[in-house]
Amino acid sequence: MRLLPVVVTVLLTVGFAYYVYIPLPDEIQEPWKLMMLDAGIRTVVRLISLKDYLGLDPYIKSIQPYTEAMMGRLLSSDSGGGVIPGVKVSEITFAGIPVLVYEPPAGGEGHLRRGLIYFHGGGWAFGSAKMWSYDTMTRKLSDELNAVVVSVEYRLYPEVHFPVPYLDCLAAAKHFLSKEVLAKYAIDPERVAVSGDSAGGNLAAAVAQAISTDDTMSVKFSVQALIYPVLQALDFNTPSYLQNQEVPLLHRTQMVCLWLQYLGVDLSLMPQFLANNHSSLQQSAITSALRARLDWTSLLPPKRKKSYKPVIVEKGLQGLVKEVPSLLDVRAAPLLAGAEVLAKCPRTYIITCENDVLRDDGLMYAQRLQDAGVTVTNDHYEDGFHGCFMKWPIEFDVGERGIRAYLNWLQNNL
């Protein structure tokens, strides 16, 4: 009978290892950490999917509390959590949009400070400025940069679709850049940045374009800093989408699903989008000039293209672009903006990760901005993956290095 507990223990251990293990790219330096985090997320998603199937709770509504729990939501925005006690945090509204304003410890009389507005990630469906992961970073930004940081609580799916999140962020940004607000917080109008990660990087890029080309704005952003941004929805067969389609923490199908939700497209069309049928040559609205703006065969270096071939469909979902014009809307897909718009964008910092489906979005945007005459710094992490900069229950060395490089760039360029 003594043998039975040993056998049970061995079987449970083997079963657990089998559930946790997934093949990962060799470049990832802490594979078991990522496997453990992925296993936890998979478990939550499967439980939530079961609840949804049983009709107990809608999927999005059910998963949001778990997402917040995994990254830690602050109970009180002014509690500080012992992170950086000197930073003052206020919950207010900018143009009716809820924001958290982080103010560094008071400096010398008459000294102007930097300003930065931040948009959190989460696929336009999850996340919050109050999550511990974002709160920790924005406090650090405020303290180390001596900056007033505004973190925006824009509205999310399923309550809203595009363009509402974008419009929320644009309204908050314009309010922040007003002379009255800059004077109130003693911010130097020549040193204001816009930043965001993932879907927040999408919003930051779109807002930066809008502000840069708005002649009514007397104050504009001096820099933009984008962390693995998502920038286009016409080609889901770029080399990075194919190479990393099963790499956590963002699978190819997950990203396509988030896009469809954001744009209000029926999820039953996902197979068509995965096959690039939505951007077939039949779509007359997608001109050759427009296709050139995300032509990875010319925008990516050979090292990233590898042996992949472009997926260009002759016939597909005819008329879809007319039904979903947001597919070509630069406010949703900043990579599609023309060179005349990009040329007006501020100095840019873009972080990309080798093992991320969104890698090529960021690399193509960096190249197009450079071609338009914008000064661009691209920090590429060979051992990076989507979400690695977040403060998960498990932290990653590549994330710590990335956050430090991000802070250093802002310190030197803002």
Average pLDDT over residues 103-119: 85
Tokens (6 digits) for 262: 């954001």
- pLDDT value at 16 more than 60: no
Confidence at 81, pLDDT banded by 50, 70, 90: very low
Q: What is the pLDDT of residue 77?
A: 42
Average pLDDT over residues 278-292: 95
Mean residue pLDDT across the chain: 89
Measure the CA–CA gap between 312 and 201, rounded to whole angstroms. 27
- pLDDT value at 227 more than 70: yes
380 is catalytic: no
Q: What is the pLDDT of residue 52?
A: 47
198 is catalytic: yes
371 is catalytic: no
Q: Which of 142, 198, 240, 279 is catalytic?
A: 198
Q: Which residue has the tokens 């509402």?
A: 164
Tokens (6 digits) for 21: 């293990």
Model confidence over 232-280: pLDDT tens digits?
999 999 999 999 999 999 999 999 999 999 999 999 999 999 999 999 9
Per-domain residue ranges of the chain: 3-70, 72-232+329-413
Q: Which of 356, 360, 361, 383 is catalytic?
A: 356
Q: What is the pLDDT of residue 55?
A: 57
- pLDDT value at 13 more than 70: no
Q: What are phi and psi of 376, to 5 degrees?
A: -125, 135
The helix/strand/coil state of 114 is strand
Least trusted range by pLDDT, from 145-154, 241-250, 324-333, 387-396:
387-396
At the top level of CATH, the class of 72-232+329-413 is alpha beta
Tokens (6 digits) for 146: 């001596």
Helix (H) or strand (E) holding 94: strand 88-94
- pLDDT value at 189 more than 60: yes
Average pLDDT over residues 94-98: 98
Average pLDDT over residues 311-317: 90
Q: What is the pLDDT of residue 82?
A: 47
Measure the CA–CA gap between 263 and 400, rounded to whole angstroms. 33
Average pLDDT over residues 289-309: 97
- pLDDT value at 20 more than 90: no
Query: What dihedral angle (degrees, nearest 10) is formed by the CA atoms of 326, 332, 335, 341?
Result: 100
Q: Which of 120, 175, 278, 386 is catalytic?
A: 386
Tokens (6 digits) for 136: 């920790």
Answer for the pair 336, 293: CB distance below 8 angstroms, yes or no.
yes
Distance of CA 132 to the CA centre of its chain: 17
Tokens (6 digits) for 249: 């923490």
Least trusted range by pLDDT, from 20-24, 96-100, 289-293, 386-390:
20-24
Q: What is the pLDDT of residue 58?
A: 56
- pLDDT value at 110 more than 50: yes
Q: What is the pLDDT of residue 75?
A: 40
Model confidence over 27-62: pLDDT tens digits?
999 999 999 988 887 776 556 555 445 555 554 554
